[in-house]
Amino acid sequence: MYDIVVLGAGAVGLSTAVCIQNALPGRQVTIIADKFTTETTSHGAAGIFRPTTEKTPVKSLEQFRKWCTDSFAWFHLLNTELDPAQTGVSRVTGYQFLEQPSEKLPFHHDIIYNFRTLTDQELKSLPGNHKAGWTYTTLMIESRRYLPWLTKRFLSQGGTLESRTVNDIRSFAGRCSVLVNCCGLGAAPLCNDPDVFPVRGHLVRVLAPWMKHFYVWDGGDSYIYPGQDNIAIGGTRHVGEYDVIKDADYWFKDVLDRSTRLFPALKDAHIDRKWVGLRPHRTYLRLETETVRCGEQTLKVVHNYGHGANGIALSWGTSLEAAALVRQTSVAAATLVRQTSSVNSKL
């Protein structure tokens, strides 16, 4: 028997579990997953805070903005009040280039720090032959540090971890008060959800300590992000592709070629590691409650998955909302129990 169960141990699952602990102190929260820390998709992600609705379709821009602002406030706190070497959250300034000038500003322009449009003189002094662009300061959330730190926080607050594969959420009917689904791509078979699909991405990490700024170009699909240990170079977006081995060498070379055209010195940088992962996309990010009927029993479920390429950036904001839904569900269930007990006592 469990109290509150969270399925999934990526950035979204861990964040949701910690947010539930904060919202419902004293309740027992258990994370069940078949992959933890280094095995998760979150671990390999670049982790910069640069959320876009193009890469995470949503039904409400107002809701998306709240997720972004809540997440950024959390990461800002981890950067300013705790040790970035532990939390993995550091500040980085850089440039995002455009093919043509545009009056449309990026969604996050008024959430991050010091956003402004690049001048013509600045563009001429920067690498590449770009016609327009922006400069700003944002936050890097490096999962190599962040996920272990978040796991430690969860365990220190009384949480428990269970390593196993879950094939049917209905198996939890009558065995937990609330089930929280943060399975990402795994939600497709688990919930029979046809709206979930992968977007494969390739990333190469190299040792180039002289690289101090980030650079984004090619509509946002090519990037160089400096981190505390190495720099992340990417990327690719292959919609619906599940095969992580197919043509991997070709795409890693393509990623490196794009970066070296902008910075030839990167050609001699030592490759630290390569990574290919499947981003858990969905037609629309799913954050809602559901009552699953299992014969004569019911299972209260809170869904929080389908973050796509913005999993790290949105993780804390969506987890706060998921925790609020868990709280509402728990209060409603407790009220029903009290009412049922009252009726039974009168009978």
Which tokens in the block code for residue 163?
Answer: 């390593």
Burial environment of residue 104 by CB neighbours within 10 A (0 to 12, 13 to 18, 19 or more): exposed
Phi, psi dihedral angles at 96 (to 5 degrees): -120, 120
At residue 296, the 3 state secondary structure works out as coil
333 band by pLDDT with thresholds 50, 70 and 90: low
> Do 57 and 34 meet the contact criterion of CB atoms below 8 Å apart?
no
Calpha distance 82→98 (Å, rounded): 35
All structural domains of the chain? 4-336 (3.40.50.720)
Q: CB neighbours of 192 closer than 8 A, spacing ≥ 6?
A: none
Q: Kindly provide the b/e burial profile for residues 196-211, where b requires at least 16 CB atoms within 10 angstroms of the residue's own CB.
A: bbbbbbbbbbbebeeb
Q: CB neighbours of 210 closer than 8 A, spacing ≥ 6?
A: 265
Residue in this structure with the two tokens 């490196």, named with its chain if needed: 256
**Which residue ranges make up the annotated binding site?**
41-42, 166, 223, 279
| 1 has pLDDT over 70 | yes
Calpha distance 279→124 (Å, rounded): 35
336 band by pLDDT with thresholds 50, 70 and 90: very low
**Which residue ranges make up the annotated binding site for D-dopa?**
223, 279
So what's the pLDDT on residue 330? 83
> Do 198 and 240 meet the contact criterion of CB atoms below 8 Å apart?
yes
C-alpha dihedral sign at 135, 141, 145, 149: positive
Residue in this structure with the two tokens 């399975």, named with its chain if needed: 183
What percentage of the chain has pLDDT greater than the value 70?
95
So what's the pLDDT on residue 130? 95
Q: Which amino acid is at 202?
A: H
**Which residue ranges make up the annotated binding site for FAD?**
41-42, 166
> Do 220 and 214 meet the contact criterion of CB atoms below 8 Å apart?
no
So what's the pLDDT on residue 339? 41
Which tokens in the block code for residue 59?
Answer: 């039904």
So what's the pLDDT on residue 21? 98
| 90 has pLDDT over 50 | yes
According to DSSP, the residues that pair with 232 across neighbouring strands are 205, 225
So what's the pLDDT on residue 86? 97
Query: For the segment 224-249, what is each residue's pLDDT rounded down to a tens digit?
Result: 999 999 999 999 999 999 999 999 99
Provide mean pLDDT across the span 285-308.
Answer: 95
Which tokens in the block code for residue 274?
Answer: 């390569």
So what's the pLDDT on residue 57? 86
Rg of the chain taking only CA atoms, in angstroms: 22
So what's the pLDDT on residue 17? 98
208 band by pLDDT with thresholds 50, 70 and 90: very high
Provide mean pLDDT across the span 42-60.
Answer: 92
| 150 has pLDDT over 70 | yes
Question: Which region, left, alpha or beta, applies to residue 204 given φ > 0 means left and ψ of -120 to 50 means alpha?
Answer: beta
> Do 12 and 305 meet the contact criterion of CB atoms below 8 Å apart?
yes
Q: What is the DSSP string of 166-216?
A: ---GGGGTTT-SEEEE--GGGHHHHTT-TTEEEEEEEEEEEE-TT--SEEE
So what's the pLDDT on residue 345? 44
Long-range contacts: 165-169, Cβ < 8 Å, 24+? 165/34, 166/7, 166/32, 166/34, 166/190, 169/7, 169/292, 169/299, 169/301
Calpha distance 227→209 (Å, rounded): 9
Calpha distance 189→209 (Å, rounded): 42
Average pLDDT, the chain: 94
54 band by pLDDT with thresholds 50, 70 and 90: confident
Calpha distance 311→309 (Å, rounded): 6
